[in-house]
Amino acid sequence: MRFRAEKPRQDPARDQSRLLQVLPYWREWLAVNASGAPDDDALDALRWLIEEWRVSQFAQELGTAQAVSPKRLSKAVEMARRER
């Protein structure tokens, strides 16, 4: 935690840039989730893919459990929207 807490102090612009890469997908998840439909596998998969994206952006040294990219995230968003 200490290591992560130091990163924004070292380069706030880089940290902000990475946040802006995660934020659109998180907003998509919130929008789909707000539709009020019951939870489903596609929505859960999207949530965990977003978490992996966060790891890839903010803690690359940890590595991710699965491959993640904007293209994969966009596909997951579409799947979650179709399920609703």
SS (H, E, C) the chain: CHHHHHHHHHCHHHHHHHHHHHHHHHHHHHHHHCCCCCCCHHHHHHHHHHHHHHHHHHCHHHCCCCCCCHHHHHHHHHHHHHHC
For position 55, what pLDDT does the model report? 93
Task: Please give the residue range of the domain that contains residue 34.
Answer: 2-83
Q: Please give the pLDDT value at position 82.
A: 86
Domain count, the chain: 1
Q: What is the pLDDT of residues 20-75, one digit of tens each?
A: 999 999 999 999 999 876 668 999 999 999 999 999 998 888 899 999 999 999 99
User: Which of the four pLDDT bands, split at 50, 70 and 90, describes residue 1?
Assistant: low
pLDDT of residue 36: 72
The CA distance from 53 to 22, in Å, is 7
